[in-house]
Structure 1
């Protein structure tokens, strides 16, 4: 006899799942029954929020959905913050949970881990939330959840299995995944957009996280003679290219470039304020003759464009390139426009942030091709304003969208498991690190070669600065950090401490990266006053 729980594991294997992040409990015993012989790697975080963040990091690094398996009640509520981060940054995460027996739901009977309405709670954050009411519901529910991630703007999806269903017998095999129809660009709309772009004298491309193919992005930019402004999640796809502007469109210098364009092509960006109005001025840059590509019709409706193309951004870029033909624009003028925007943006961020970006550059040079996974911390904020990673998808963090602290440590673990062939650097502040220090032991247990870089200013430096700038007293911004050298010893990791000096950071990183397993590099900067 195959149970629903065992069939769930088989269905996940058939749909390409190779890793699950979860903490077992009495409500998920039957869901765990089939894992032992499945070939799926199970990673045990120290908190369910960590499971969600690990699934997020895994998804960003692998391009596949990350999967978290949690218990009903507190397991799911602990995961909600991670689900909200995935929702804000369009990251495909499948959350599987238990739930109490069907005849007890909504009754308020006082069962262990009982919630008034768990599915409605999850649905407030997830793109979808389904309950498997009968054995026959299992595979259709999984397929609907995964189709939601493949055919539109991704995010978190939730499927719950009641404890009285998980052990029921199920007939037949899980079978292959149901086919998913992905929106394809309309040839007529592509032709209209290509015609407009072909006549542009000063075009600019906006590349967001949905624009994943760097080669076609570069080819399109060269064909049009267009500088390419990259949002935080679009960075690294044209590293060091003379047309790239790896700077935030919240900066005045970048806004001037956009507002001086005659056509703006926006590829896979939601045009949200964490990228376009980071300083909270209440305004967005003016985007003349906007041609917008997005896979989500709701997003297209939120920011109307002269021409709207509902499609995957990479598919649309290929189609536009075909319609435009091979004749490339004269490069010199476009390269000069891009260089002027880069230089002005670099000047605009100021000396403090320039110093922090130089530290990021030192990390990139010391560990080429690394995935740098960041938290909401000062050098990450600086990098989000101006930084050019040398790998597509090699720079992502929680300081966009939802902005959850404690993200970087577990997300870096998920990324390292997804891409064991790549070096992973976790960049977090001492304040944010204290949200998820327990997950260091997950890295130690899994022997992951992650270097945890802790920017230690002994407090919430960015928040303290904001309070001072607002003329408010600085209160609550000085949580005492642990002794990170002692913490590293407790976790069985090497530790090194340096000042915020690029040369010292690079040299120490090279030394730590030569040691197997995880390590901690503490960068000591001035305390929060």
Structure 2
């Protein structure tokens, strides 16, 4: 007896370790959803396909493998388009499956067709690979090609379309191939390049490790910890790599926003960059804080995509390969000659610790509404041990960069694309990928939270250990700040304020979640603790000062250097 195409699709993804699917069941895909459920997969239907795409992206970040999302033909795929574009810019390997009418409908010369648009040409520019299954026996090759393209080089999304006439057809096929049989897995760097990198590391006086987004999405933290121990140097986070590797918390500093990070970068004579494109937020590795020693600093870049080598700045040693393979190669090359601690390491650790303590102490207390700096301090002090932190928002995230008192090993936020509203879907996807075990805290703002607030019902239905801590100022805080900086006071501020009657704690209760309302900074921590203890997803509505949130964003000038048009 043959295997139906919809079952074969699940077989192919199971061979990659995928066991979660997001989407609203398309009439074409109901058989696949039912089969996935019968196999014990997590089958998650949110209230909007855009949120489904973000949830699948969070899974890819938490697992290091492909995420899987389905969109209904026509309107569902229109809704999901933003998530496809986001996955492209965020370098996330998400496979999007789209339903479609049978090809006989498309090929006839007709007008007024129902729920139909030619989808594949629309999505092709936004994905690494786009294909439509025209014949059932193309299933293996096209699904494999989608995964191959998404997981190779710089990761990114793929789109596969299944017309209605294909999914129920049956195939006579062998067992699915394991990943290493049909695509490159665990690519290592060349031995001469590894030897040269090790030589430069040994010769450096003040090396640094620059840790980017891919260190965490490839789940390479343990190997990077070994490498950092052998190098005995500061660890600098890019804005996309703000998770903390266990055991390295005290000497990990955020680039640009920590005085210790700035000092370490300025004085460094070698930078080993892992999992970063060396983009605008790090000034391409040559401007601003890098400029002082640019003529003597050596660069080693570990990069899976050979086309990315040397684009933003010259590189002394390029290690082309997967972090999961290359970092262990470096560890092996250095294990017999560990470095003595960098001469400035203890001083930098002390400087950073003092800075964080001072920020916690000096954040304004006792204000009503609460100052956003104090909001972040108190919320992150209450962050649960071993939790997953999700960020969302504009001004709120800028305050978090400076004032956060937590150092979680998993931080998820939308850094490259800056897509607001991703926070709640990311939090749901991350929790499901984690097996609903570790506590998840979303630290966000009201404007961003409203994008996908309906997904609170999804969180409640899935029984997730999730608490959303929402700073509420009834405005687009960052945009109000831009108005104030652009125009003389009182500045015009159209389109950035909204009703002050909204109560997120009550909305949460209406969705079957736990709600807390907070007006005093001393109540933030206890409210978060009660929300986690409730056994339900929770929402903590925290009233924050709209004036401070728009006018007092910390280190805003540093943030603006990311957008220094034409100067980098």
TM-score (norm 2): 0.83
What is the CA distance between 1:31 and its match in structure 2?
4.3
1:505–1:327 distance in 2 versus 1, CA, 3 Å: farther
Aligned to 2:304: 295
Q: Is the 8 A contact 2:377 2:403 kept in 1?
A: no
Distance in 2 (CA, whole Å) between partners of 1:252 and 1:259 is 11
> Map of 1:137-176 to 2, 5 A cutoff?
137-173=138-174, 175-176=176-177
Cα distance in 2 for residues equivalent to 1:409 and 1:230: 24
Q: Which residue of 2 aligns with 1:306?
A: 316
Rounded to whole Å, the distance in 2 between the matches of 1:354 and 1:305 is 39
SS of corresponding position for 1:232: coil
- Which deviates more, 94-103 or 382-391? 382-391
Long gaps (5+) in structure 2: 364-370, 551-568
Alignment of 1:21-420 (within 5 A): 21-29=22-30, 31-32=32-33, 34-105=35-106, 109-115=111-117, 117-173=118-174, 175-178=176-179, 179=181, 180-182=183-185, 183-211=187-215, 212-238=219-245, 241=248, 244-249=251-256, 254-273=261-280, 275-277=281-283, 285-286=290-291, 288-303=297-312, 304-331=314-341, 333-336=343-346, 338-339=348-349, 342=352, 355=374, 357-364=376-383, 367-385=384-402, 387=404, 389-392=406-409, 394-398=410-414, 400-419=415-434, 420=436
Q: CA deviation at 1:357?
A: 4.5
How much has 1:333 moved relative to structure 2? 1.6
CA contact (8 A) 2:505 2:540 kept: no
CA distance in structure 2 between the aligned counterparts of 1:235 and 1:416, rounded to whole angstroms: 18
Contact 1:22 1:44 in 2 (8 A): yes
Cα offset for 1:78?
1.3
- Report the CA distance between 1:171 and its aligned residue: 2.3
Counterpart CA distance in 2 for 1:90 and 1:104 is 35
Consecutive unaligned residues of structure 1, counting only runs of 5 or more, are none
Bigger mean CA offset, 367-376 vs 355-364:
355-364
Aligned partner of 2:459 in structure 1 is 443
Q: Please point out which of 466, 473, 477 is paired with 2:496.
A: 477
CA distances 1:75-105 after superposition (whole Å, capped 9, x unpaired): 1221121222222222221111112322444
Structure 2 CA distance for aligned equivalents of residues 493 and 348 of structure 1: 33
Note the alpha carbon deviations across 1:40-94, whole angstroms, 9 max, x for none.
2211100000100111122222333221111122212211212222222222211
CA gap 1:227/1:387 in 2 versus in 1, 3 angstroms? farther
1-structure distance, mates of 2:257, 2:308: 20
Contact 1:85 1:404 in 2 (8 A): yes
Deviations 1:323-373 (A, max 9, x none): 224333332624135337637976899957754542353132xx1111011
- Counterparts of 2:380 and 2:110 in 1: how far apart (Å)? 55
Which residue in the other structure is 1:429 paired with? 445
**In structure 2, how many angstroms separate the alpha carbons of the residues matched to 1:354 and 1:506?**
14
Counterparts of 1:276 and 1:467, CA distance in 2? 27
Which residue in the other structure is 2:546 paired with?
A: 527
CA deviations over 1:436-457 (Å, ceiling 9, x no partner): 0111111122222211111111
Q: Name the CA distance, whole Å, in 2 between partners of 1:147 and 1:342.
A: 42
Residue of structure 1 aligned with 2:529, choices 485, 510, 513: 510
Structure 2 CA distance, aligned partners of 1:123 and 1:285?
Answer: 38
1:413 CA displacement: 0.9
In the aligned structure 1, how far is the partner of 2:322 from the partner of 2:378? 35
Q: Check the 8 A contact 1:356/1:382 in 2, yes or no.
A: no
* d(CA) in 2 for partners of 1:390, 1:72: 42
Q: Structure 2: how far apart are the matches of 1:245 and 1:416?
A: 25
- For the aligned residues, what is the CA RMSD? 3.0
CA distance in 1, matches of 2:167, 2:518: 52
When residues 74 and 91 of structure 1 are mapped into structure 2, their CA distance, relative to the original with a 3 A threshold, is: same
Change (3 A) 1:38 1:401: same
1:363, 1:9 → 2: CA distance? 40
Contact kept in structure 1, 2:469 and 2:540, CA below 8 Å: yes
Task: Check 1:330–1:243 CA distance in 2 against 1; reply closer, same or farther (3 A cut).
Answer: farther
User: 1 CA distance for matches of 2:103 and 2:403?
Assistant: 52
Shift of 1:205: 1.2
Residue in 1 that maps onto 2:18 = 17
2:211 and 2:236 in contact (8 A); partners too: yes
Any conservation in 2 of the 1:24–1:32 contact (CA below 8 Å)?
yes
